[in-house]
Amino acid sequence: MDNLQTQGISLPQLGLGTFRMQGDACRAAVESALGLGYRHIDTAEMYGNEEAIGAAIADAKIARKDLHVTTKVWHENLAPDAIRKAFDASLNKLRLDHVDLYLVHWPSRNMKLPAVFETLMKLKEEGRTRAIGVANFTTALLKTVVEDIKAPIACNQIEYHAMLDQTAVRKYLAAKSIPLVAYCPLAQGRFATDETLAKIGSKHDATAAQVALKWLLDQDGVAAIPKASRAESQKANLDALKVRLDDDDRKAIAALRKDMRCVNPGFAPAWD
């Protein structure tokens, strides 16, 4: 599996998303993924599953240097003291002495970006997170963070898939050599019934979902974190790496609708 190099860390291009996974089921899913070879686990304080993930990681006994763990601070906790409190809680639940990547989960209207990133950069300087980044940031917010504050962000994690256009954000991130980490890369299962993707899949002895995932992973500077709780789905996502799409396939995917959002940004109080 390829890794993306960013801000001093090596980010496996395919990771395991864990949103809405809870308790023993979450622990079992992470144990399964690690057993299959996943080395990139994505979580967040808001998911309420860091303890389960911490238990799975502890049981797996994988060398810490070989494992990438991302977690995130919720938009309600973006005051400096609240960030530190949230970070300490996440680290404790994960049973780790550091995380690899710590993200601002959603922007907030009343956040003070310079103070937010001063706090995050201090956590990085202290060696408690190896890198910092953002999620769900618009191009305008990215410009403020990267060009005005000059924060060394390692990624922007956003919804991105074969039926959602993210050209503007992608171009900005690419120009700054910042990876895009795609969540909902399989559109929460909606691709399974798409005729175009299924037709491409049949040509390559693959599923529609595998085609959509490989289309993402073929792009420079893009990683993906599909949620998969069953071992069969986790393995299918790994097997997507073997698919070889051609120019005709990419043209057909480019012609798909590009306005399908799975996550409504309106629920975040800061989103304009």
Taking only the tens of pLDDT, the chain with its 272 residues reads 799 999 999 999 999 999 999 999 999 999 999 999 999 999 999 999 999 999 999 999 999 999 999 999 999 999 999 999 999 999 999 999 999 999 999 999 889 999 999 999 999 999 999 999 999 999 999 999 999 999 999 999 999 999 999 999 999 999 999 999 999 999 999 999 999 999 999 999 999 999 999 999 999 999 999 999 999 999 999 999 999 999 999 999 999 999 999 997 654 544 33
Residue partners of 82: CB distance under 8 A and separation at least 6: 76
Say how far apart CA 167 and CA 57 lie, in whole Å. 35
pLDDT at 266: 58
pLDDT at 272: 35
Active-site residue (options: 38, 47, 160, 183):
47
Q: What is the pTM of this model?
A: 0.96
Nearest to 174 by CA among 150, 156, 162, 151: 156
Residue type, 76: E
Say how far apart CA 197 and CA 252 lie, in whole Å. 8
Strand partners, 70: 42, 101
Give me 131's structure tokens.
């890198």
Task: Please classify residue 27 by burial: count the beta carbons closer than 10 Å to its beta carbon, then call 0-12 exposed, 13-18 middle and 19+ buried.
Answer: buried
Residue type, 11: L
pLDDT at 270: 42
Report the residue count for the chain: 272
Instruction: Verify whether residue 47 is a known catalytic residue.
Output: yes
Give me 205's structure tokens.
């002895």
Residue partners of 203: CB distance under 8 A and separation at least 6: 249
**What SS3 class is residue 131?**
coil
Longest dimension (CA), the chain: 54
CB 220 within 8 A of CB 174: yes
Say how far apart CA 189 and CA 260 lie, in whole Å. 13
CB 104 within 8 A of CB 45: no
Q: Please provide residue 20's backbone torsions phi and psi, each rounded to the nearest 5 degrees.
A: 70, 10
DSSP state of 82: H
